[in-house]
Amino acid sequence: MLRVGIVVGSTRPGRKAEAVAKWVYDIGKNRSNAELEVIDIQDYNLPLLDEPMPPSLGQPHRNPHTRRWSAKIDSMDAFVFVTPEYNHGPSGALKNAIDFLFHEWNNKSAGFVAYGGAGGVRAVEQLRQVMGEIMIADVRAQVALSLHTDFEHFTTFKPAPHREASVNAMLDQVIAWGEALRPLRSK
């Protein structure tokens, strides 16, 4: 079964990311072709990157928090990144968590669920550049939630009904590409 990690991309107290990730999980959890899991970067207590060497060099991770984060990401075949938009980019917490690892991300697929005044689309555009470098195949379909219409009073998450279809379209692509890349991962 393809394992899809839904990465909670904000650690801000009062964050919206948690509710959004749970919603994505609930939409996808009964799929017969994939097993979904919410991965909350907050649970891994990652400091600002404190490994001495670039992870692409493939040396053993020095710190216990990195090894724990590595084991979780390594166990996944595909990802959904749930990301806010901070200053037209993704959160520093999410970028930092990505930067800790390299091989654990390679030859996997990913999709995005973003939110912001303009659907978080600028954060996703930046993340797509990062995906190329860590060898993740990022799918076209993406979910762009609006702070104006999907969050009551800009706070409580109440997604418009049609958003569910866009989550499913994104998951279909993430799962298809995650399966297609299996031969590369098994090498």
Ligand X SMILES: Cc1cc2nc3c(=O)[nH]c(=O)nc-3n(C[C@H](O)[C@H](O)[C@H](O)COP(=O)(O)O)c2cc1C
For ligand X, the binding residues (CB under 6 A) are: 10, 12, 15-17, 84-88, 116-118, 147
**Closer to ligand X by Cβ: residue 34 or 98:** 98
Kind of pairing between the strands at 2-8 and 136-146 = unpaired
Q: Which lies closer to ligand X via its Cβ, residue 7 or residue 137?
A: 7
* Of residues 63 and 126, the one with the C-beta less far from ligand X: 126
Buried b or exposed e, range 100-131, using 16+ CB within 10 angstroms: bbbebbebbbbbbbbbbeebbebbbeebeebb
If the CB atoms of residues 55 and 90 are measured against ligand X, the closer one turns out to be 90
Closest separation between CB of residue 8 and ligand X, Å?
Answer: 8
Residue 179 CB, nearest approach to ligand X (Å): 30
CA–CA dist 36, 153 (Å, integer) = 30
Local structure of residue 59 (DSSP, 8 states): P
Give the length of the chain. 187
Smallest distance, ligand X to C-beta of residue 137, A: 25
Contact present, 170 and 80 (Cβ < 8 Å): yes
Q: How far is the CB of 172 from ligand X (least distance, A)?
A: 25
